[in-house]
A and B are shown apart, each in its own frame.
Chain A
Amino acid sequence: ETGVTQSPTHLIKTRGQQVTLRCSSQSGHNTVSWYQQALGQGPQFIFQYYREEENGRGNFPPRFSGLQFPNYSSELNVNALELDDSALYLCASRPGTGGSANYGYTFGSGTRLTVV
């Protein structure tokens, strides 16, 4: 059973640029969430996708957008990068059905984004 895979592991971008981060969900998981973890902070929820539809969003501006594909892999896109967007971006997947017994998030190792 493969876990959650994120790419790239590290990325350096210039302020104002756009970035796309990628996530492959764990096999059998149809729900994916993205989190932003600034240095020294706990992860903050960005949004969640279930069967290719966004079904939950945190307090992030519209320049943070996402996609989920039919194979349940996912992308996080950030436009007009700002210095404060520098953070570790974590992807997490879980089964969307099956009752609470299946309620467990599996996290990837993250993408470290540095905006200069």
Chain B
Amino acid sequence: AQSVTQLDSQVPVFEEAPVELRCNYSSSVSVYLFWYVQYPNQGLQLLLKYLSGSTLVKGINGFEAEFNKSQTSFHLRKPSVHISDTAEYFCAVTSAGGTSYGKLTFGQGTILTVHP
């Protein structure tokens, strides 16, 4: 079984400040990791994904995330946020094979609010 814990339910930040949204996961097998963003009344948009290779992953809209296998973490970062980044962010994990292949397990979400 897999699980995802997003350590902050809400993160307020001022415009142009850096931000980090924290995600820890638990799994007994190798995993793929994802970050999605959800704007109000919309579906999920993929920000970035880690499948293999370099542990630093760059995504859309200036976001990046670092996979840390020893810490079982996949924190999302952006060096300078904009008002338009205000949204809910979800970390998700799936197994890299086996019976859970294809099933995404999501965290509870982190609401990022960017203030002017």
Contact = CB atoms under 8 A, between A and B. Distances in A.
Interface of A: 4, 6, 31, 33, 35, 40-45, 48, 50, 55-56, 58, 90, 92, 94, 100-101, 103-110, 112
Given A43-B104, A55-B102, A103 B43 contact: no
Contacts of A31: 102
Nearest to B52: A100
B7 interface: no
A107 to B, nearest CB: 4
Interface of B: 4, 32, 34, 36, 41-46, 49, 51-52, 90, 92, 96, 99-109
Interface of B, secondary structure class, is loop
A110 B62 CA distance: 26
Nearest to A90: B43
Most chain A beta carbons < 10 A, residue from B36, B104, B106, B107? B104
Given A92-B104, A100-B32, A104-B49, 4 more contacts: A43-B44, A43-B106, A45-B103, A45-B104
A92 B102 CA distance: 11
A43 B90 contact: yes
